[in-house]
Chains A and B, each alone.
Chain A
Amino acid sequence: KAGVTQTPRYLIKTRGQQVTLSCSPISGHRSVSWYQQTPGQGLQFLFEYFSETQRNKGNFPGRFSGRQFSNSRSEMNVSTLELGDSALYLCASSLADLASGANVLTFGAGSRLTVL
């Protein structure tokens, strides 16, 4: 059974550019969550998508956005990149249903973004 796949694994951008990260969840998992990990702020929740709808959102500026497709694959986009956006972006998937709370998240290996 394939795990959570994130692409690209590494990327370098310059300030002002935008970036799109992709996440393919485990087959059958309908919920996809995104987290940002930095040395200073640690692991912070960005947003969660379920059935193509954003179900939860963390405390990040509007430059951070995401979407989910009908096959549950998800993308997140960061526009007008800043130096502080350099981080490991982790995607996680879970079975999750509308009525339940937190399910066990399976994480991908992450996309490491460096902003110069």
Chain B
Amino acid sequence: AQKVTQAQTEISVVEKEDVTLDCVYETRDTTYYLFWYKQPPSGELVFLIRRNSFDEQNEISGRYSWNFQKSTSSFNFTITASQVVDSAVYFCALSPITGGGNKLTFGTGTQLKVEL
């Protein structure tokens, strides 16, 4: 069975602060994908990143960065210098690489509120 835990239900920060969203996962699969999606108030889930279990290199994309640590089964997401437009619900998700098709297991999400 697969499980994704996002312990932070809601985070509030002031604009320009850095914020880290935590994600811990459980899986028996030896190979898997990890994802982060963003859901703004409009409701549409927006893809942010996909990493496979073979690649533990951290990644930076603009103000976003991801820290994947297989040893602790964590895939944390950091927004540097947050902006009001970053306010949304962020979901971490997991899927096996083979046999899982597009069946993603999502965490419960973290509501991020960025205020002026």
Contacts and interface: CB of A to CB of B under 8 A. Distances in A.
26 contacts: A31-B101, A33-B102, A43-B91, A43-B93, A48-B103, A55-B101, A56-B102, A88-B43, A90-B45, A96-B101, A96-B102, A101-B96, A101-B99, A101-B100, A101-B101, A102-B35, A102-B50, A102-B100, A102-B101, A102-B104, A104-B50, A105-B45, A105-B47, A105-B102, A107-B44, A109-B42
B12 to A, nearest CB: 19
Given A48-B102, A50-B101, A102-B33, A109 B108 contact: no
Nearest to B91: A43
Contacts, number: 76
Contact of A110 (B37, B44, B100): B44
A45 B108 contact: no
Nearest to A108: B44
B101 A56 contact: yes
Interface of B: 31, 33, 35, 37, 42-47, 50, 91, 93, 95-109
Contact of A42 (B43, B96, B97, B108): B108
A9 B102 CA distance: 23
Interface string A77-96: 00000000000101010101
Interface residues of A, number: 28
Interface of A: 31, 33, 35, 42-45, 48, 50, 55-56, 58, 88, 90, 92, 94, 96, 101-110, 112
Contacts of A56: 100-103
A102 B97 contact: yes
A17 B17 CA distance: 49
Interface of B is mostly: loop
A107 B31 CA distance: 24
Contacts of B35: 102
Contacts of B50: 102, 104
A34 B47 CA distance: 16
